Amino acid sequence: MGDHDRQETMQEIVAAMSSKGWRITDQRRSLAALFAEAKGYLSPKDVYEHMRLKYPGVSFDTVYRNLRLLSEMGVLEQFYFNEGLKFRARCQSHHHHHLICMKCEKTVSFEFCPMKQIPNLPEQFDIVSHRFEIFGYCSDCSPNLKETSKNA
């Protein structure tokens, strides 16, 4: 992520907080900056450990509540891995979906949207958004893929 993208991500998170009437404190700016700078997924514990270095009085409950609210606002995405819930800043560029390695968390975007292929969706349902992630193992982490490439 380039400097412009990081700045844009931070501004989007802060703007979402502000639009919900949150006071934009130094602590909340730090939270936004953490996600703007993060290269991967962060667990609530990761975020809490980072925040309490600068803000020793912060509670885990406060951090967790903020993460859930930011996720509900749509500026953070939440993912369920084997070891639990993790968050990252929402992809801003355009509509796409992800392949996510369950071991190393490598994430690959793909442009195909399966929603266009789902037949017979109820007409009386107004779909506002959707997410589609495929979890598996990348070629570096999958013993099956390593075996296949050795035998090829």
Q: Are residues 115 and 83 in the same domain?
A: no
Q: Are residues 77 and 112 in the same domain?
A: no
CA angle 58, 48, 102 (to 5 degrees): 165
On the 0-12 / 13-18 / 19+ scale of CB atoms within 10 A, 66 is: buried
Residue 91 annotated as lining a ligand binding site: no
How many other C-beta atoms lie within 10 A of the C-beta of residue 50? 17
62-98 pLDDT, tens per residue? 999 999 999 988 889 888 888 889 998 887 666 777 7
Residue 147: its pLDDT value, please?
58
Q: Are residues 21 and 83 in the same domain?
A: yes
19-66 pLDDT, tens per residue? 999 999 999 999 999 999 998 899 999 999 999 999 999 999 999 999
The band of 146, judged by pLDDT with boundaries at 50, 70 and 90, is: low
Residue 4: its pLDDT value, please?
59
Q: Tokens 């893929």 label which residue? A: 145
Residue 141 annotated as lining a ligand binding site: yes
Residue (of 54, 74, 78) closest to 64 by Cα position: 78
The length of the chain in residues reads 152
Residue (of 92, 99, 98) closest to 142 by Cα position: 99
Instruction: From 60, 89, 118, give the residue that closes a domain.
Output: 89
CA distance 111 to 132: 11
Q: Are residues 82 and 126 in the same domain?
A: no
Number of domains, the chain: 2
Residue 84: its pLDDT value, please?
87
Q: For residue 81, what are the domain limits?
A: 3-89
Residue 95 annotated as lining a ligand binding site: yes
Q: What are phi and psi of 31, to 5 degrees?
A: -65, -45
Residue 114: its pLDDT value, please?
79
- Residue 127's domain is classified under what CATH number? 3.30.1490.190
CA terminus-to-terminus distance, the chain: 35
Residue 113 annotated as lining a ligand binding site: no
Residue 130 annotated as lining a ligand binding site: yes
CA distance 149 to 37: 35
Residue 60, token pair as written in the block: 């885990």
The band of 111, judged by pLDDT with boundaries at 50, 70 and 90, is: confident
Q: What is the CA radius of gyration of the chain?
A: 18
